[in-house]
Amino acid sequence: MIDLDSARLRPPPHTPSLVSTQLTISVASPNSAPTLVEPILCSVPDWFGIEDSTLAYIAASGQKPTYIASRDGHPVGFVTLTHHNPVAAEIHCMAVHRDHHGTGVGTALLRHVETLLEKGGVRFLQVKTQGPSKPSPEYARTLHFYVSRGFTPLEEVRGLWPGIPCLILVKAITA
Ligand SMILES: CC(C)(COP(=O)(O)OP(=O)(O)OC[C@H]1O[C@@H](n2cnc3c(N)ncnc32)[C@H](O)[C@@H]1OP(=O)(O)O)[C@@H](O)C(=O)NCCC(=O)NCCS
C-alpha cells in the first residue's frame, strides 16, 4: 500500500469539505474487488447506465488486476487493467465515486498504475471510451481527463460496442 498524500491529492479550494487528503491505493483481492467496485460504478449512472456491461465490469474486477483508491479507509475509485502482451496494457475500466470527482483520485490512480506498469516493462497503455461522434457532456469530461493526462486519440471505431462509437486512446508510459 502506498501513501499518496502529495501534490494533486490536496483538494482544490472549491472542493467540498467532506474531502480529506488521506488517499491510499492498493491492489484488491479477487474476492473483495467486485464488492468494492460495485458502489463506485453505481454512483456514476450517466457513464455506466447499461446494466449488463456494468455487471460485466464488476465481474471483471475480480478476474483482472484491480487497484482501489481509498480516502480515509473508504473506497472512492478504482482502475481495472488488462495485460495484452508484455509491453501493452489497457485500462479495462476506471471510475471515481461521484462525490469525489475532480479531487485528484483519478489522476492518482493513473499515476500509480503507470508507475507499476513502467517498472514491469510495459510501454503502452490504451483506453477505450465513447467517441466524440456521439456527443455527450459526460464523456467530453472523460475525454478531457484522459487527454490532459497524456493520452492521444488514435481512432474511433464502430461495431465494438452496440450503437456506441468507441474512441481508442494510447499513452506511451516510458521515455
Ligand atoms: C474520469 C474520472 C475517472 C476522472 O477522475 P477524477 O478523480 O474525477 O479526476 P481528477 O480529479 O484526478 O482530475 C480532474 C480532471 O479531470 C477532469 N474531469 C473529467 N471528468 C470529470 C468529472 N466527472 N468531474 C470532475 N472533473 C472531471 C477535470 O476537468 C479535471 O481536468 P483538469 O485538471 O485538466 O482541469 C472520473 O471523473 C470518473 O469516474 N468519471 C465517470 C466515469 C468515467 O468517465 N470513467 C472512465 C470511462 S472510460
Domains of the chain as residue ranges with CATH = 4-8+22-172 (3.40.630.30)
For atom 5 of ligand 1, which residue has the closest CA? 106
Entry pTM: 0.90
Q: Which pLDDT belongs to residue 127?
A: 98
Q: Which residue has cell 508484455?
A: 86
Of 10, 50, 101, the residue with max ligand 1 atoms within 8 A of its CB, to mutate for a pocket test, comes to 101
For atom 44 of ligand 1, which residue has the closest CA? 142
Find the mean pLDDT for residues 8-30.
Answer: 66
pLDDT tens sequence across 44-76: 999 998 899 999 999 999 999 999 999 999 999
The pairing of strands 164-172 and 152-161 is: antiparallel
Question: Is 145 near ligand 1, meaning CB less than 6 Å away?
Answer: yes
171-175: Cβ within 8 A, 24+ apart? 171/114, 171/124, 171/125, 171/126, 172/123, 172/124, 173/114, 173/117, 173/118, 173/122, 173/123, 173/124, 173/125, 174/118, 174/122, 174/123
Q: What is the Å distance from ligand 1's center to 33 Cα?
A: 21
pLDDT tens sequence across 112-148: 999 999 999 999 999 999 999 999 999 999 999 999 9
